[in-house]
Structure 1
């Protein structure tokens, strides 16, 4: 079984596009050895991240993420168990709210309804802001 986790967090005030690029680069470099895949959406203020892998790998990664100075107020939105990965080739994909191809791939994935609702809510809140 594959565990999956969706969480949101608030970017620290000093985070800029270079920091976000570094997050993606670090994730793409480290996630293959952790056997973790997923995506990160950043809207300039908040992060929404989906990760999938073994339960032990996700708990270990969540501990690392919780201590990262680049964000705070980590909130778990959804946890699930799956037979297989939704995003097996995405070591860590960045999807901004304007990145239509990546967002389309996310929206068309076989997401649990509750997780899809959280992702759509995140996007709707950002568009309204």
Structure 2
């Protein structure tokens, strides 16, 4: 079984686009060794991230995330398990307002309903800002 989780967090004061690209770059490099895949959405002040992989790897990643000073107030929104990965080729993909191909892929994936509702809600808030 593949575990997955969706979490939200608040960006640290002064975090900019270069910092977010560095997060994605570092995650893309480290996640294959962790056997973790997923995506990150950033709206300028909030992160929403979906990750999937072995449960132990996700638990370890959450511990790292809870100590990362680039964001705070990490909240796990949903957890799920599935037979297979939904994003096997995404070591870590940034899905922002200009990443329509990635956002379309996310919309057509078979994410659990609760996760997709959170992603849609996040996208609605991002467009309203």
TM-score range normalised by the length of the shorter chain: over 0.9
Partner residue, 1:20:
20
SS in 1 for 2:44: coil
Q: Tell me, in whole angstroms, the C-alpha distance in 2 between the residues paired with 1:126 and 1:73.
A: 18
TM-score by length of 2: 0.98
TM-score by length of 1: 0.98
Partner residue, 1:86:
86
Residues 66-77 of structure 1: matches in 2 within 5 Å?
Answer: 66-77=66-77
- 1:97 deviates by 2.3
Q: Tell me, in whole angstroms, the C-alpha distance in 2 between the residues paired with 1:107 and 1:33.
A: 27
Partner residue, 2:36:
36
Q: Tell me, in whole angstroms, the C-alpha distance in 2 between the residues paired with 1:2 and 1:57.
A: 11
Deviation >6 Å, runs of 4+: none
Root mean square deviation, CA, Å: 0.7
Structure 2: runs of 5+ lacking an equivalent = none
Structure 1: runs of 5+ lacking an equivalent = none
SS in 2 for 1:88: coil
Q: Tell me, in whole angstroms, the C-alpha distance in 1 between the residues paired with 2:6 and 2:97.
A: 17
* Number of residue pairs aligned between Structure 1 and Structure 2: 129
